[in-house]
Amino acid sequence: MNDDIIENEASLVALEKRLGISRRSFMQMCAAMAATMGLPAGAEAAMIKAVATKKRPSVIWLHFQECTGCTESLLRAEHPTLEKLILDIISLDYHETLFAAAGHQAEAARRSAMKANKGKYILVVEGAIPTKDNGIYCKIGGQTAIEMLKECAADAAAVVAIGSCASWGGMPATPPNPTGAASAGEVLGKVIPNIPGCPPNPYNFLSTVVHFLTFGKLPDVDDIGRPKFAYSRLIHENCERRPHFDAGRFAMEFGDAGHKKGYCLYKLGCKGPETYANCPAILFGDVGNASWPVGTGHPCIGCTEKGIAFTKPIHALADLKTMRPPVGFPRIVEEQGVGATIGAAVLTAAVAGAAVGAGMQLAKNLGKNVPLDESEPAKKHEERNPS
């Protein structure tokens, strides 16, 4: 791709064997990630070099109040196999779900990794943190979730919240929120990078990690911590059902004719018009075309937005942030006419005749600076000043 890559041919050969995918596939993936993140030309080469030559960053992955769906989503992505890339690009030194170790051994491994990589490891938080009653509703190894999060975050190079629960509180924080579930950022008292979603798209996480590995920092985020490359545009803008919205064609019930024809799901409560994410652009799970909720016929629930998913009813209409449907909706099925009746034809002719007469009068008065509704004075003016 350029001189740097040619010079690192040996590293690329080793990378190919290590990842079990072709160099071409890996280069294409890096180029796609660079383009998705809006990076300048040449960034893909830096990414490839970083993955091929740099030491894998240590990652401490914590689980709190969640369903493990974020991890499950990551492990079930393919093309190329994402879990292979993730687990080979990073050194996953603590992950309760994937760990072979358990109990005291697992906690000893976590503390050992934190000590050996002090100030250099990435902390990934999955799940909300219960804060009520001093956090007694979630304990790991004798520590509350609050204590463990603060301990691990103290010496981390970066803290990333993955999934809606860690980002906003998600399902556990839904009213009445009996455990006082809160986001990782709220517990730490600062805005941290969030990769929200229920589950989040694993490629957004991979891109974030590769950006950190390449440039030594996380990608630019918006005012609530979401990477701009993934969460800067409304889902509605890139939705394949958008043309139907613009034309006023909506599914009114699940399974009706409009739903079967792929009409817009706005009337069924789709939150795409108020949700920022790249779901329709990169899809989910690599299982083929339309592999995302709206593509398969279900309204977006707004899982990447705080205060929408798990808070706003699924059937409630979205608050339109930008585009609105047309004022006059075309009917989905136009009625078939039978031709004009004699009475309608007569009426149409009378209206047309009146319009022609008014037009002729207007033309006659042009240039006389006389309003059309003052036709009588105009006649008198003409009689006094014959042409």
10-residue mean pLDDT profile of the chain (387 residues): values are 54 69 75 76 78 81 93 70 66 84 87 93 96 94 95 95 95 94 95 93 86 87 92 92 91 95 95 94 75 92 93 91 62 50 52 53 46 46 54
Q: What pLDDT sits at residue 77? A: 58
The 10 Å CB-count burial string (b at 16+, else e) for 105-139 is ebbebbeebbeebeeebbbbbbbbbbbeeebebbe
At residue 43, the pLDDT reads 79
Q: What is the pLDDT of residue 29?
A: 76
Let me know how long the chain is.
387
Give me the numbers of helices (H) and strands (E) for the chain, helices first please. Answer: 18, 9
In the chain, what are the domains? Answer: 55-230 (3.40.50.700), 233-334 (4.10.480.10)
Q: Give residue 89's pLDDT.
A: 75
- Residue closest to 23 by CA, chosen among 43, 54, 44: 44
pTM for the full predicted model: 0.74
CB half-sphere exposure, 1, CA atoms < 13 A: 20
Q: Residue 259: CB partners within 8 Å, gap ≥ 6?
A: 251, 253, 265, 268, 297
